[in-house]
Structure 1
Amino acid sequence: MRDEWDHAHTDYTMPVQRRSPASLAESESDWRHYLESSTPNGWLLRNNAMTDALVSGQPMYLLHVTRAIDAIRVSRQLHVSAGCLVGALYCSPLARQREGLRPHNLGAYLMRTKPSATPMILEVAPDAPIRPKGVDYLHLGTIHLRTYLRYRSFLTPAENDHLGRAVQAGLRSAAPFLDVALRNAAGHVTAAPEFIDQLAAAVSAVPFLGYLYFEVLSEYLLLHSTTPETRSHAQAGELNNWLYKRLAFAAVEGMDKLFDLARFSPRHHRLVQLIEGIEPALAPGAAEYVRRRLSHLFAMTTLHPSQDAASVTFQGADLGTIQKAAPGLIGQMIFREIRYMARYQHLYHYFEKAKALEAWDYWNSEGIPAPFNAVIPKGEIGINPAYPRSTVRVWTARRDSNGYLHPDQEIEAVLTPHLASWWAPPRQRETHSASYESRVEPAPVTRSPIPTQRSPKSGVPT
């Protein structure tokens, strides 16, 4: 179990430690070197204001925005949420300056777009310098799978059967593209426009691909942007969060109301339009970057490291074989499929609390009171509610005319290890693209529940 959590965490100040499947054309170390040394903002992966604050060992100041300030005052409790931080209070950094506390550009964005929410200042006083080790939710697939296998008794037989059918149907529909992605990860080159169109068509069958697609494009924009806005944020030690926010809202109608990356699936021509609308100079290279980077990340996040990427195939494989070869993919698919179930508001706490307990235990043993989203260190940081060796103080925030925050009223509230609420996407999902379905031979969906045996662990002892 612990090696799975090690595998799902990244420390950008240390060399890459994850094991990789065989036959990848580029290693994770190759990509890390390229991103750090060959992109305009790659230096911020290792040397950014958030990392500096963590390793300083000094009290950290974080911004949290909430619409539940009255409930917090009455209950004197702050609950945490699941999501990309698994089970932490979602925050963004505040930089302590002479004029006051300056919000990170992510925090400035949150306050501007959520004017009815109350900004709160939290002071986290750690017991020691914090290792800048964050959780990468793209690598949580094996943990999702193991959690499901352990707690599947909370589902009815009909729900388990439906889950198996849905996963198998999604795999069958997307199998041609999944094989294309692995071939590209192993060095084969598919024309970028064709690759992007196949990717876009496969997202409805395997929603995890929408998350990969979005994160790869976000990385591309964050690290390659050279606009004055981006350079200004870089001078403050920050990646420019406004870039991927603009991308998401332009790509998917209603994303500002329901941020669901399972709906992120622009085809090639639309992808080029989107990047041109954000930073025209980056449009020509976007599709090829997605082809190379997404293929690599798909192999890294889905395959067991004992596998050979050049030998794995999804077309014609049964569910048990795929689960052994790609436990990360099966876990990600199960995790997202459960969220479409009618009883998810009840199931949420069974499955997500189990993962949160493991995360809290891991963070405590690693000395991490403030985990962050390590897909890329863009400023999404949380507070571990179960950390016993740090103190947390809470205030409402007063904002001055220059945008700086100041503590206003101290609130006698404590962080509690309780998940705040449940969230589920709409149950009516898009149907699979007819143009993509036509590429898959029709076959009946047979009863094939998820195999009961545990999949091999994909972690790396450190």
Structure 2
Amino acid sequence: MNSPTTPSGDDRPPLHEPAAAGRLPDHRTMDRPTLARIAGRRPGGPGARPRLPHPATPLVPDPTWFARPESATSLHGVLHGARVAVLVQLLGPDRAFALAAPASCHDCRRRNDRTDAGHGARAAHWLTRYPTDLSAAFGHAPSPEAVTAVALHDVPHHASTPEQRAAYQQHRTAVDLLKAADALDRYRLPATRWWPDLHLLRPDGNAMLTALATGRPVHLLHLTRSLDAIRTSGHLRAFDRHRHALTRAEAHQVTRSVTDRVRAAAPLLDLMLAAAATGRTRPDAGPFLDQLAAAVTVMPYLGHLCFETAAEYLMLHSTSTATKNCAELGEMNNHLYKQLAFTAVDTMGALFDVGRFRPGHQRLLDLIDGIEPGLSQSAAAFVRDRLAHRFTATALTPAADATTFAFTGAGTDDLRTAAAPLLGQLLFREVRLLDRYPQLYQLFEQEKAAEAWTHWNGRRTALPYNAACGPKGEIGVNPVGPHAQVTVWTAERCTRGLLHRAEQVAAVPAPRLAPWAFSALRDRRDEDRWKNRAAALA
């Protein structure tokens, strides 16, 4: 479904030439030389095509809906709207069709093919004024969330007004879906500088977005919401609910320690906010990764993000035979990040804690090349950009403005307002360092586990984490899934290292925590280093 091309007799230069010179007309149509040039610059990958979850219904907007006749046949015209509607259906199957119909005409009120600020709001106004046109064509009238998504699709997060941010929070998923679908269709534009930056896509569903854009392997179950929703949202609620179980001295110790950690890591945290918010502040990747490694000892949460980002890089960029074989089965090559974890930290087998993943720049490149020679070529820049975005997306509250908030000088009240997810994670981890935590373990951890089970059941997720073995060898099963039926088997390993079921075991998953003695949740060496933290805060 390509954009309309100019007639063969047209003597205008190919569109990519004025694009390179910065002299594009207000309305643009595609030509065959430019299409060929775009096709020759398609992002690479191991060559496995993604398996799409379901067929999409073509939704082609009526040319008469467009503000100007020339707009209907331009780069943002009828066919662009139809492609975006298809991408919305592929990215968001839960609510796809209801959003896809309005998405097909998200650019119908454009006045030109430039930025044209406000064209989203004009299209949203058109949708609310003429809803019967849409319902007559597609059988769906525009819903409030769809109208909001169309209104905000052209508004950068950092430039939104308080009213727009409030609307975004109310209909966040729909806005993110339309923005992502619209961004993926930017690969048709004549200059690569206008193509989407995949590092800046929203965390949820990023693997699928990357696969659609580049043809890299993808496991479709990665579309389920990520661990971030559980890891960052429930901690502060659990801490606040049970904080009175702490003595006054313990509460002071926890709060003071968190404040010290934020103060020590603030220069790096603010650097990541600046890099993610505008994209213009990009530190040199080498010094950034070394600074990150030093900060992980103060704020282990950064080690989690660094490991997950490096794992993303490995799985998305590997071209090994094993990765290609996994891709043909619709799977990611999970062995890559397991090898990374156990190679990077010598004691990972005794206490699995990626909060201790802090390799630094050169060590990270050596680790990646040790797993797959030559793979580290673009790793440093990827980790820098992607980690800055992931930190900003998971550390700040949704309504916070990353362009104005700073961790430097921030107190606990400031963190509660602008960085509640990060504050909750830090407080929760700090409680685990208390001498009395074995007594508090059930109280705090059961609360967080219940948050996870509720999250999974609300999304009908019986097998979280894709039911794939994680780095520790565990398999994700929701123990309170109302419709799940689980059969347990022992396994034997063959000469190829593969597991084969052997004997069925009469076992039923139960929503109970493992006893404290079997839960490795802290390392005394880390506690001692932090208690003697004068050097880190100097």
Once the two structures are overlaid, the 10-residue window that deviates more, 352-361 or 148-157, is 352-361
Contact 2:218 2:330 in 1 (8 A): yes
Change (3 A) 1:397 1:13: farther
| 8 Å CA contact 1:372, 1:380 repeated in 2 | no
> Which residues in structure 2 correspond to 1:87-102 (within 5 Å)?
none
Give the superposition deviation at 1:350.
Answer: 0.8
What TM-score, normalized by structure 1, do the two folds share?
A: 0.66
| Structure 1 gaps, min length 5 | 1-10, 52-131, 443-462
Distance 1:304 1:12, change over 3 A: farther
Instruction: Indicate which of 184, 195, 198 corresponds to 2:275.
Output: 184
- Where do residues 252-331 of structure 1 align in structure 2 (5 Å cutoff)? 252-331=345-424
Residues 176, 236 of structure 1: alpha-carbon distance in 2 compared, 3 angstrom cutoff = same
Higher relative contact order at CA 8 Å, sep ≥6: structure 1 or structure 2? 1
Report Cα offsets for 1:190-242 as digits up to 9, x if no partner: 11112111111111111100000000000000111001122122223221122
Return the letter of the residue paired with 1:351.
F
Alignment match, 2:303: 210
Question: 1:346–1:207: structure 2 CA closer, same or farther, 3 Å change rule?
Answer: same
**1:347 aligned to 435, 440, 444, which one?**
440
CA drift at 1:310: 0.9
Q: Which residue of 1 aligns with 2:255?
A: 164
CA contact (8 A) 1:145 1:328 kept: yes
Q: What SS does structure 2 have at the residue aligned with 1:312?
A: coil
Alpha-carbon RMSD across the aligned residues, in angstroms, is 3.6
**Alignment match of 2:202 (pick from 28, 32, 38):** 28
Q: Distance in 2 between matches of 1:200 and 1:277?
A: 19
Report matched runs for 1:344-383 at 5 Å. Answer: 344-372=437-465, 381-383=475-477
Contact 1:364 1:387 in 2 (8 A): yes
> Is 2:337 aligned against 1:244?
yes
* Bigger Rg, structure 1 or 2: 2
Q: Per the alignment, do residues 306 and 21 of structure 1 end up closer, same or farther by CA in structure 2, a change over 3 Å counting?
A: farther
**What is residue 525 of structure 2 aligned with on the other side?**
428
Measured after TM superposition, the shift of residue 164 of structure 1 is 0.5
Deviation at 1:401, TM superposition (A): 6.0
Alignment of 1:55-74 (within 5 A): none
Of the structure 1 ranges 158-167 and 406-415, higher mean CA displacement relative to structure 2 is found in 406-415
Q: Relative to structure 1, is the Cα distance of residues 14 and 380 closer, same or farther in structure 2, using a 3 angstrom cutoff?
A: farther
Rounded Cα–Cα distance in structure 2 between residues aligned with 1:27 and 1:401: 42
Structure 1 residues 190 and 286 mapped into 2: Cα distance closer, same or farther (>3 Å)?
Answer: same
CA contact (8 A) 1:371 1:384 kept: yes
Tell me, what secondary structure is at the counterpart of 1:28? coil
Deviation, 1:415, is 1.7
Distance of aligned partners of 1:226 and 1:38 in 2 relative to their CA distance in 1, 3 Å threshold: farther
Aligned to 2:73: none
Instruction: Tell me how far apart the structure 1 counterparts of residues 529 and 237 of structure 2 sit (CA, whole Å).
Output: 29
Q: How many residues align?
A: 344
Q: 2:483 aligns with which of 389, 403, 407?
A: 389
Identify the residue that residue 294 of structure 2 maps to in structure 1. 201
| Structure-1 residue corresponding to 2:146 | none
State which of 228, 232, 249 in structure 2 corresponds to 1:141: 232
Unpaired runs of 5+ residues, structure 2, are 1-88, 96-148, 160-196
CA-CA distance at 1:22 after TM superposition: 3.1
Query: Contact 2:468–2:475 (CA<8 Å) still a contact in 1?
Result: no
Tell me by how many angstroms 1:252 deviates.
Answer: 1.7
Change (3 A) 1:265 1:390: closer
Question: Structure 2 vs 1, CA of residues 410 and 168 (structure 1 numbering), >3 Å: closer, same or farther?
Answer: same
Corresponding residue number in structure 2 for 1:460:
none
The alpha-carbon deviation at position 388 of structure 1 amounts to 2.8
Q: Secondary structure at the match of 2:491?
A: strand
Contact 1:192–1:287 (CA under 8 A) maintained in structure 2: yes
TM-aligned CA distance change 1:16 to 1:223, over 3 Å: farther
The equivalent residue for 2:24 is none
Distance 1:302 1:284 in 2: 29
Secondary structure of the residue that 1:391 maps to in structure 2?
Answer: coil
- Compare the two structures and name the one with the higher helix fraction: 2
Matched AA of 2:506:
E
Report how far residue 170 of structure 1 moved. Answer: 0.3
More strand by share: 1
**Alignment-mate amino acid for residue 210 of structure 2:** L
In structure 2, what residue type is equivalent to 1:143?
G
CA contact (8 A) 1:135 1:371 kept: no
The CA deviation string for residues 16-64 of structure 1, in whole angstroms up to 9 with x for no partner, is 99999932993418966762245563x4143xxx67xxxxxxxxxxxxx
Deviates further, 420-429 or 13-22: 13-22
Q: Deviations over 1:400-432 (max 9, x none)?
A: 667665554433322211112332221221847
d(CA) in 2 for partners of 1:21 and 1:425? 40
